[in-house]
Amino acid sequence: MTENKSRVVVLGTGGTIAGWAPDPKQAHQYRAGEVAVGDLVKALAPQGLHIETEDVARIDSKNMNWTVWQQLVARLTYWLAHDDVQGVVVTHGTDTLEETAILLHSLLKGDKTVVITGAMRAANAPDCDGPVNLQDAIRLAATPGRAGVVAVFAGHVHAPASLTKLDCQSLRAFASSDPVPIEPAIENLTALRERFSGQPDHPVDMDVSAFLQVTAWPRVELVHNHAAQDGWLVRTLIASPDAPEAWVVAGTGNGTLSQGLEDALIQAQEKGAWVWRTSRCPWGSVQAQRGDRLSQVCALNPCKARVVVTLALLALALKQQGLARPLP
Ligand code: ASP
């Protein structure tokens, strides 16, 4: 790597990239988040770069939650505000990596490079993929220019909006609609940014400072359409005292719902809940049809839509308290 006066910050949150197996021969039996991010970076011995490291959390990302997200956003905001910080890398478990990516993409207003990465094999597994992914992520974050929030995995750069973990075993666990190989991305960050700007955007009009003060999170539930879906879960929950404030539904095909589920969600909507339709298909995005009784659709996958809908509900609540501007 060439000499670079700018700093790159690597924030750790845990995951398999920081996982450790008591017996490397049984590397699938590991604990996520065991290794400090400083040690992961030290093992790479990056040349010619000023790198700061900090562990924000050391969790398995199946347990990612709003509190850790607030801590992560707080540290990102702190470091990104430094003029000499070129970019930030976030190491993360792969299980909810795409949810964190869309949260950061929606919330962070600046366009400095934030690269989120992870690994499918523990740090002491033979042929572990973490070092290469981390190295690629650091190189991208150190590149002059601004890429905004992106993910780097298995030699490719992905945009948060279409990023999805599709494989629970392969080293190429992630896919997106328009992945860019790492070398051309580093060579031309402007082209990368322009290419990704065509993807659906989901900005949330909420100041980071307001997000960091939230202590109560709206309940947004996710429900799937499937064969023999009769809407029982929705009808049961909307009758409870702490009924969800919003529903995201992973519909079949173009966001379609069984009659029973649609009727139940219409009841939820009539009681004041938001209902957003997405598709359980990994590719394509739901197109609203004239006459839809549930008219709100979201192009994101269901789990990412749930993050954005929660933020949108919060933004509205903060606006009603006079703390933030409304959604467009
Ligand atoms: N369970 C791990 C996590 O998400 C999986 C991984 O990182 O690949 O933290």
Q: What would the pLDDT profile of 192-230 be if each residue is shown by its tens digit?
A: 999 998 887 777 888 999 999 999 999 999 999 999 999
> 35, 78 in Cβ contact below 8 A?
no
Nearest atom of ligand 1 to the alpha carbon of 120: 8
> What residues are paired with 325 via a beta bridge?
none
Q: Per-residue pLDDT for 51 more than 50?
A: yes
The helix (run of H) or strand (run of E) holding residue 91 is strand 85-91
Question: Rounded to an integer, what distance in angstroms lies between the CA atom of residue 270 and that of residue 163?
Answer: 33
Ligand 1 touching residue 13 (CB < 6 A): no
User: In this model, does residue 319 exceed pLDDT 70?
Assistant: yes
Q: Identify any residues that bridge with 223 across adjacent strands, giving them in sequence order.
A: 249
DSSP helix/strand/coil, 7? strand
* Cα→Cα distances 207→95, 107, 211, Å: 27, 8, 6
User: For position 205, what pLDDT does the model report?
Assistant: 81
Domains 7-197 and 217-320 equal at CATH topology level: yes
Contacts of 239 (CB under 8 A, 6+ apart): none
Pick the CATH number of 217-320 from 3.40.50.40, 3.30.70.890, 3.40.50.620, 3.30.70.980: 3.40.50.40
Between the CA of 157 and the centroid of ligand 1 the distance, in Å, is: 19
Q: Which amino acid is at 144?
A: P
Question: What's residue 323's pLDDT?
Answer: 52
pLDDT at 119 over 60: yes
Mean pLDDT lowest among 49-53, 67-71, 149-153, 323-327: 323-327
> What pLDDT was estimated at residue 324?
47
With a 6 Å cutoff on the Cβ, whether 60 touches ligand 1 is: yes
**Assigned CATH class of 7-197:** alpha beta
Share of the chain above pLDDT 70, in %: 96
pLDDT score of 198: 82
Percent of all residues in the chain with a pLDDT value above 90, rounded to a whole number: 86
User: For 240, how many CA atoms within 13 A lie in the half-sphere containing its CB?
Assistant: 11
**What residues does each domain of the chain span?**
7-197, 217-320
One-letter amino acid of 11: L
Please check whether residue 80 is in contact with residue 113, taking contact to mean a CB–CB distance below 8 angstroms. Answer: no
Annotated active-site residue 16? The verdict is yes
pLDDT-based confidence at 328, cuts 50/70/90? very low
What pLDDT score does 325 carry? 41
pLDDT tens digit sequence for 155-172: 999 999 999 999 999 999
Instruction: Tell me the residue length of the chain.
Output: 328
For tokens 């190491």, the residue is 91
Q: Which residues contact 233 (CB under 8 A, 6 or more apart)?
A: 223
Confidence of residue 138 (pLDDT cuts 50, 70, 90): very high
